[in-house]
Amino acid sequence: MSDAMDDWTGSSDDLQAAEYVLGVQDSNARASASRRAEADAGFAALVAAWEARLVPLSETISPSEVPPHLWAEVERRLGWQSQAQGAVPQKPQSLWNSIGLWRGLAFGSSTLAAGALALALLVMPAGGPATPPPPPPGMPMVAAIATDVGDPMYMAVIDQGSATITVMPMKAPVAGAQVPELWIIGEGEAPISLGVVPDKGMQRAPFPPAHMERAHHGALLAITMEPPGGAPGGKATGPAVAKGAIQSL
C-alpha cells in the first residue's frame, strides 16, 4: 500500500485482501491482488476470510431470470457437446459438418447415422475431386446397409461427382467360404452387382458409370453372400443378408 494506513489496524496484506474483495482497487492494483491470490496460499486465505465476512451481503440481491440459451453456451465454451439438445452446427456453411442434418436422416439406428457421418467425413475431403462439386447435383448419397433385425453391416457413400462408391464394414458377415457382394436394386428391377466388398477395412471403388442413374434416393443397396470371386454370371446365388435404402443429402 503506497498511501498511509493510519486507518487500518491490521497488516497491509490483510488490507490488500479486504480491498480486493470489496472491489475498490483500480485495474492495476486489482490485477496484482488477483495474481497474488492465485500464487500465494497465505494471501488466498486472507481473501477467503474477507469473502466470508463481506460476500453474504449478496444475499440481499434479487435473482434475475436467466435466458434459456445461456447454459448451452456455457457447455460450448467448456468444449462439451450438447448431446441432449442436438449439437450446434460447427460450420454452418458446410452441410457436411451439420450434425443435425445427419441426425435428421431416417437411419435404422443412431449407430448407423454415426457410421455414415464418420465415413462421409473420412471419404469426402480426402478423395473428392480437385474442386469440390457444387452441392446440389454433386451431393453424395449414403446408405446404411443393415440386417433384417437392424444390425448395421455396411455403410456406403456414393459420390456422383467423382463417380465412386465407398464402403465401410460396420459388422461384416463372418468370413468363410463365401464373400460379401454388393448390389443396387432399383424399384421393380433386377439387382445389379457393384462388386465384391471387403469384410474389413474401408474400400473406395469406381461406381459403374452405366448404372449411375440407378443410384438415386430410395434405391436399395443389398449384400448377398457369394462364392469367392463373386456371383457367377452377375446373378445373386443367395438371399440378401442385409439391405438399406440410398438417402440423398
Partner 1 sequence: MADAQTEARDELASLLRHAAARDRAALREIYRRTSAKLLGVCLRILPQREEAEDVLQEVYITVWDKAHAFDPRLASPMTWLAAIARNRAIDRLRALKRRPADALPEGFDIADETPDAQAGLEQSQEYAKLRGCLEILEPRTRGAISSAFFGGHTYAALAEKDGVPLGTMKTWIRRGLSALKECVGR
Minimum distance from residue 42 beta carbon to partner 1 (Å): 14
DSSP 3-state assignment of 56? helix
Minimum distance from residue 111 beta carbon to partner 1 (Å): 23
Comparing CB distances to partner 1, the nearer of 85 and 109 is: 85
In 3D space, the residue among 201, 216, 214 whose CA is nearest the CA of residue 248 turns out to be 216
Do 119 and 202 touch, CB atoms closer than 8 A? yes
Separation between Cα atoms, residue 41 and residue 223, nearest integer Å:
67
In 3D space, the residue among 186, 188, 193, 184 whose CA is nearest the CA of residue 227 turns out to be 193
Comparing CB distances to partner 1, the nearer of 34 and 94 is: 34
Strands 164-169 and 203-206: antiparallel
Minimum distance from residue 117 beta carbon to partner 1 (Å): 23
Taken in order 130, 133, 138, 143, the sign of the CA dihedral is positive
Comparing CB distances to partner 1, the nearer of 83 and 131 is: 83
In 3D space, the residue among 105, 71, 106 whose CA is nearest the CA of residue 88 turns out to be 71
Minimum distance from residue 58 beta carbon to partner 1 (Å): 4
Minimum distance from residue 69 beta carbon to partner 1 (Å): 10
DSSP state of 227: -
Tell the burial category of 99 from Cβ atoms under 10 Å away from its Cβ (0-12, 13-18, 19+): middle
Do 120 and 114 touch, CB atoms closer than 8 A? no
Number of helices (H), then strands (E), in the chain: 7, 8
Comparing CB distances to partner 1, the nearer of 9 and 131 is: 9
Do 87 and 99 touch, CB atoms closer than 8 A? yes
Comparing CB distances to partner 1, the nearer of 23 and 239 is: 23
Task: Tell me which residues touch partner 1 (CB under 8 A).
Answer: 3, 5-10, 14-15, 18-19, 21-27, 30, 34, 45, 48-49, 51-67, 70-71, 73-74, 77-78, 80
Minimum distance from residue 23 beta carbon to partner 1 (Å): 4
Minimum distance from residue 36 beta carbon to partner 1 (Å): 13
